[in-house]
Structure 1
């Protein structure tokens, strides 16, 4: 099977406003009940306008951009993020994945913007899906 492969420089952006609904779902998935994420008063006491968005929930937006960029037959092999600041509920994150280079895998640079500010930076490597062979 031959996989289609995006070209170097090609990018996809996925935008989403982070809401209380996502916060609730991620709390249920992760079990994280940290006050910064689930208690508005605690978050405001730390100087935030509202509760902080779970970093991995914000980072998950890149999975949509990566899937749309690479297409079927590709999976995330490795991913890393750096968060410049806390993201709060109600902010819209524009998650962009850009192909940096291709070989047997795809290496993509990740940039998460809120307005003109880059709040997330990272890198992902996409690999072809391989089915485990019977032993």
Structure 2
């Protein structure tokens, strides 16, 4: 299957508010019952304004951007994310991915997640898009 060409500089951004309902769904998916994530009272005891959004749920917003950049024939081959600061349930996050280099059918992307509207970076890292099937 032919793969659409990838070009350095191509970018896509996606914004979403991290909601209580989605926090509950991610709890069910992950099985993570950590107090910071499921108990607002516990989270407040350590200085958070509310429950902390799951880091992987926040970082996972970047998968929407990567999917848009890679198209229907590519998948995430690797991803490395650094979580600079917590996101509180109820905050809005803008995820962004940009292709920084292309090697054949693979593309290395820069990934960032920032709080909206402040612009504070909460996640940064890299991901590599690879063909779903070689050939």
TM-score range, shorter chain: over 0.9
Where does the alignment leave 5 or more consecutive residues of structure 2 unmatched? Answer: none
Q: Which residue of 2 aligns with 1:125?
A: 128
Deviation of residue 116 (structure 1)? 1.8
SS at structure 2 position matched to 1:36: helix
In the alignment of these two chains, the number of paired residues is 131
Query: 1:83-131, CA deviations, whole angstroms, 9 ceiling, x for partnerless residues?
Result: 1111101111100000010013110000111122111001000100117
Q: Please give the TM-score of this superposition, normalised by the length of structure 1.
A: 0.94
Q: Please give the TM-score of this superposition, normalised by the length of structure 2.
A: 0.94
Alpha carbons 1:37, 1:52 under 8 Å: kept: yes
Distance 1:99 1:67 in 2: 12
SS at structure 2 position matched to 1:124: strand
Q: How does 1:93-132 map to 2 (within 5 A)?
A: 93-104=93-104, 105-114=106-115, 115-130=118-133
**CA RMSD, Structure 1 to Structure 2 (Å):** 1.0
Q: Which residue of 2 aligns with 1:25?
A: 25
Query: 1:12-62, CA deviations, whole angstroms, 9 ceiling, x for partnerless residues?
Result: 001100001110011001111000000000001110110000000111101
* Stretches of 4+ aligned residues off by more than 6 angstroms: none
Where does the alignment leave 5 or more consecutive residues of structure 1 unmatched? Answer: none
